[in-house]
Amino acid sequence: MNKKSPSAWRFRSQDEWKSCLLTLPDTACFDLLRSVFGNIKTPFNKQQLMEKLTAFLSRKEIQDTIAAYINTDDHRIIAAVTLLGEPSPAELENFFAGEYSCAEFHSLLLNLEERLILYRLREEGNYRISLNPLLEPVLSPFIADRSVLFPSFPGGEDAGQAAARQPLDDRVFAAIIAFVAAQGEAQKDFFKTDGGIRKKIVDDSRQIFPNLDIWPVVEGLRSIGLLETDGISLAPEKKKLVSFGRLNFRERLEYLAAGIYAAPQSPETDNWYFRRGYIRNLARFIHRFISTFDCGRLYPRRTLLRFAEIQEKNNSGALFRNEGGPPPAPDLVAGETGRFLSVLETAGLLRAAGENSGEAVYALEDLPDEDVFPDAPFAPESRSGAQQPPEQPVIAMDTPFSCILYPGIDFSDAATLASFCDCRETGATVRFELTRDSVVRGFDRGLRAEEMIGVLERLSLGAPDQNLAWTVKDWENRYSAVSLFQGTVLTLSEDRRYLAETGMLSSLICRTLAPGVYLLALAGKDEAARILQKAGVDIIAQPPLILPDENSYSALAYSPYPSVGSFGVSVPGAGDRGEGGPACPPEDREERAKAAEERKGKLREALRKSGLPKPDQDDLAARIDRRQIVSESQLTGGVARHEKIEARNLDYVGKTVVAKQAIASGSLVEVLLPSAEGGGKRILGTPQALEKSGGETVLLLRPLARGGPGKEKQEDEMRIPLGKISLLRWIKQSIFTG
């Protein structure tokens, strides 16, 4: 299938268009030409008639009229044809599902074909919809303006603000990490046997995070690898926190959203290489999606859903070119787009902003996206004191052993505090506290008392309480007095110790226990810890699995969280102006509508003076209303064939004519039955016959159930008296398909 790329739309050649028309069956081809020129003199010559049609459509005054006749519905379909890259009729109908009924859509599509703006070509056995290349000067501004497909409107700064929900920021990120780490220490069995979180831990989370359900966030952090579990406990993953801290705030939220969305995915993503690729690609997908929209505007739900689907469809291949492998693509089809928006809300990238005309609308959070790479937590520079203090305090020591975190603190500093503090509250303030257990946890993470005190001093721009400094150093002395290690030990003879300095091996060495004795890994130490506690030792050093230093070979080999804005895959946006030339300014729409009415008024006046028989005048007047007549010369060619498209209310003769035409051609009709509630009931179906019953004419109709083209389910026939039909509309078949 040779579908065109929407980001690089090009009209097909005029020869392809002419060939498509010339290869139509004679009846269909001449019907099309008669719709433009009226009666055609014999003998017929397709080639000459096609040249005449080409010359007619190329005239400036004709193109000006065609442009004036293009209304908003026409504009939307024209723009969608290019955005979808010459879609099939079913694809185009599905794109507008929920906005047009099946009958309305087909009426619009056939009208554009009758006006020679669209045509259908057959490729590989399928029909695709394309634009008439003769009308490129007319259609280019409408192609370029895709805003009609993605409606939005201005919104106030406070639109949709939900005060009851705790916003996610770097302080809350760090608070969640601190909470999980503390619970992992206090509750060794973090998870229940069925895999859920233990009730006490959930209850504790509600006390500390009263306005935020942290568990979707925790699942997202687990999914992207920041929190690791052995099925029993849950703890932060140090090395990945380093890389995560190098992202800017917006990117961190985008990775979080990717993790939340990916959390329930199927087991085939459990392989870390593929899962890592999946997370990265999904984060980039989210980044491009968010970057498309303007934070100062409100977007209806259908705009966001439609763009997510289009972005996935148009970039599913390009998204993965930088991975060197085939990780699974984001699956945003068949209802998943709704969950996608919910995930963006949970991650704090999107917020609900009420309703507009009964439809939910959303606003994008105004988040910074500058590429800032702050010092990572636990980095050697921060340990040595090389990191510069902030210009203003970012924490306040409200008691000797607790501090309040200000919104200006960056992630690296907040995460460092989380490594040796417990979170006590979030909400109006975020407060951390140093306890013996939290400080021991910091020692286990490789921090020293001097570093902890230095961090508090640097972030508060003042010296911590002397009692705090003395207590932390005392805990450090007691910590270093008793230590437990478990793991693999490597011994090297003196003449082989140089191997410990080689890149690959040195990255695996956790600690040198003695000359030639190296610790390579650690395992569980619970049994030994219990024995020491019975012996009266109240502080026991139990470092978790010690990872290689952040500057070692293995840590620098790759970043698990590359910047999501560093890969340039082009995506057509809601405000994208395409490549077709200048777009149509919104104010031009009113001017075009006014010009169209003026042209139709002149044509109606010319028709009134033409002296044609009334049946001919009625038929031509209907074609003027359908914008098929663009020149007075078309009023003098006669009417080739009278067709009545619709009939209303008391026009029994007209309804009979419409029904007979639809029955003869095997076409669909749209039936509108009045209802007491107003609006009426619309039925789409195939008319089978007209029968007389009790002095009135009855239409036998076989309705189509919902399901879309090719998926319709035939229902039982209905018998509808013509007198009860307020509107009967004939939905003609496309001249290109029979």
Segment 208-234 shows an average pLDDT of 82
Q: Are the C-beta atoms of 434 and 178 separated by less than 8 Å?
A: no
Whole-number pLDDT of residue 641:
60
Whole-number pLDDT of residue 554:
37
Q: What is the pLDDT of residues 529-553, one digit of tens each?
A: 565 466 566 776 665 554 444 443 3
Amino acid at 724: K
Nearest to 152, CA basis, from 371, 422, 353: 353
Mean pLDDT is lowest, of 146-160, 306-320, 467-481, 639-653, for 306-320
Let me know whether 190 and 323 are in one domain. Answer: yes
pLDDT-derived band of residue 696, with 50, 70 and 90 as boundaries?
confident
Q: Is the pLDDT of residue 47 over 90?
A: no
Whole-number pLDDT of residue 85:
85
Q: What is the pLDDT of residues 476-495, one digit of tens each?
A: 999 988 877 767 677 777 87
Looking at the structure of the chain, the number of domains it has is 4
Q: Is the pLDDT of residue 322 over 50?
A: no
Nearest to 133, CA basis, from 10, 295, 37: 10
- The secondary structure of 629-644 as a DSSP string is --SGGGGSS--S----
Cα angle, residue 124 at apex, residues 120 and 127 outer, rounded to 5°: 20
Whole-number pLDDT of residue 640:
52
| Residue 530 resides in a domain | yes
Nearest to 684, CA basis, from 729, 651, 626: 729
Name the residue with tokens 């509600």.
206
| Residue 637 resides in a domain | no
Q: What is the pLDDT of residues 291-306, one digit of tens each?
A: 888 888 888 888 888 8
CA 629 to the chain's CA centroid: 42
Segment 685-710 shows an average pLDDT of 77
Segment 174-178 shows an average pLDDT of 92
Q: What CA–CA distance (Å, rounded) separates 682 from 101?
A: 9
Q: What CA–CA distance (Å, rounded) separates 688 from 662?
A: 9
DSSP-assigned beta bridge partners for residue 204: none
Nearest to 196, CA basis, from 168, 166, 234: 234
Whole-number pLDDT of residue 320:
35
Mean pLDDT is highest, among 155-169, 282-296, 333-347, 442-456, for 442-456
Residue 476 Cα distances to 440, 479, 540, angstroms: 8, 5, 11
Q: What CA–CA distance (Å, rounded) separates 696 from 694?
A: 6
Residue 591, token pair as written in the block: 């001017």
- The secondary structure of 450-494 as a DSSP string is HHHHHHHHHHHTSPPPHHHHHHHHHHHHHHHHSB---S-EEE--G
DSSP-assigned beta bridge partners for residue 714: 704
Segment 189-212 shows an average pLDDT of 81
| Residue 440 resides in a domain | no
Provide, rounded to the nearest whole percent, the portion of the chain with pLDDT above 70.
Answer: 74
CB atoms within 10 A of CB 419: 26
Let me know whether 180 and 292 are in one domain. Answer: yes
Let me know whether 195 and 286 are in one domain. Answer: yes
Whole-number pLDDT of residue 440:
92
| Mean of pLDDT over the chain | 77
Segment 447-465 shows an average pLDDT of 92
Q: What CA–CA distance (Å, rounded) separates 362 from 663?
A: 47
Residue length of the chain: 738
Amino acid at 615: P
Q: Please tell me which residue, 113 or 445, carries the higher pLDDT value.
A: 113
Q: What CA–CA distance (Å, rounded) separates 150 from 574?
A: 5
Let me know whether 178 and 297 are in one domain. Answer: yes
Q: Are the C-beta atoms of 454 and 475 separated by less than 8 Å?
A: no
Whole-number pLDDT of residue 567:
42
Q: Is the pLDDT of residue 425 over 50?
A: yes
Mean pLDDT is lowest, of 262-271, 299-308, 681-690, for 262-271
Amino acid at 643: E
| Residue 286 resides in a domain | yes
Q: Is the Cα torsion angle 446, 448, 454, 456 positive or negative in sign?
A: positive
- Domain boundary (354, 372, 388) is at 354
Domain coverage including residue 259 = 170-354
Cα angle, residue 637 at apex, residues 636 and 641 outer, rounded to 5°: 125
Strands 422-425 and 489-491: unpaired
Q: Please tell me which residue, 54 or 544, carries the higher pLDDT value.
A: 54
pLDDT-derived band of residue 396, with 50, 70 and 90 as boundaries?
very high
Let me know whether 181 and 329 are in one domain. Answer: yes
Let me know whether 120 and 56 are in one domain. Answer: yes
- Side-chain-side CA neighbours of 210 within 13 Å: the count stands at 10
Q: Is the pLDDT of residue 348 over 50?
A: yes
For residue 676, the domain's CATH number is 2.30.30.100
Q: What CA–CA distance (Å, rounded) separates 146 from 330?
A: 24
DSSP element (H, E) containing 399: strand 395-399
Q: Please tell me which residue, 597 or 338, carries the higher pLDDT value.
A: 597
| Residue 273 resides in a domain | yes
Q: What CA–CA distance (Å, rounded) separates 293 from 271?
A: 34
Whole-number pLDDT of residue 470:
95
3-class DSSP state for residue 635?
A: helix
Q: Is the pLDDT of residue 414 over 60?
A: yes
Let me know whether 214 and 310 are in one domain. Answer: yes
| Residue 698 resides in a domain | yes
Segment 711-735 shows an average pLDDT of 76
Segment 179-202 shows an average pLDDT of 74
Q: What CA–CA distance (Å, rounded) separates 78 from 159?
A: 33
- Domain boundary (354, 384, 402) is at 354
| Residue 506 resides in a domain | yes
In a 10 Å sphere around its CB, with 0-12 CB exposed, 13-18 middle and 19+ buried, how is residue 590 labelled? exposed
Percent composition of the chain: helix, strand, coil (DSSP 3-state, to 5): 45, 15, 40
- Domain boundary (304, 337, 354) is at 354
DSSP letter assigned to residue 335: T
Whole-number pLDDT of residue 36:
80
Mean pLDDT is highest, among 137-146, 496-505, 631-640, for 137-146
Q: What are phi and psi of 727, to 5 degrees?
A: -150, 130
Q: What CA–CA distance (Å, rounded) separates 253 from 172?
A: 12
Q: Are the C-beta atoms of 311 and 289 separated by less than 8 Å?
A: yes
Q: Is the pLDDT of residue 227 over 50?
A: yes
Q: Is the pLDDT of residue 7 over 50?
A: no
Let me know whether 129 and 27 are in one domain. Answer: yes
Q: What is the pLDDT of residues 108-161, one digit of tens each?
A: 998 899 899 999 988 877 889 999 999 999 999 898 888 888 888 887 555 444
For residue 604, the domain's CATH number is 1.10.10
Q: Are the C-beta atoms of 645 and 622 separated by less than 8 Å?
A: yes
Let me know whether 240 and 92 are in one domain. Answer: no
Let me know whether 310 and 187 are in one domain. Answer: yes
Segment 73-97 shows an average pLDDT of 89
Let me know whether 190 and 319 are in one domain. Answer: yes
Whole-number pLDDT of residue 8:
52
Whole-number pLDDT of residue 179:
92
Mean pLDDT is highest, among 13-27, 201-215, 223-237, 448-462, for 448-462
Let me know whether 30 and 91 are in one domain. Answer: yes
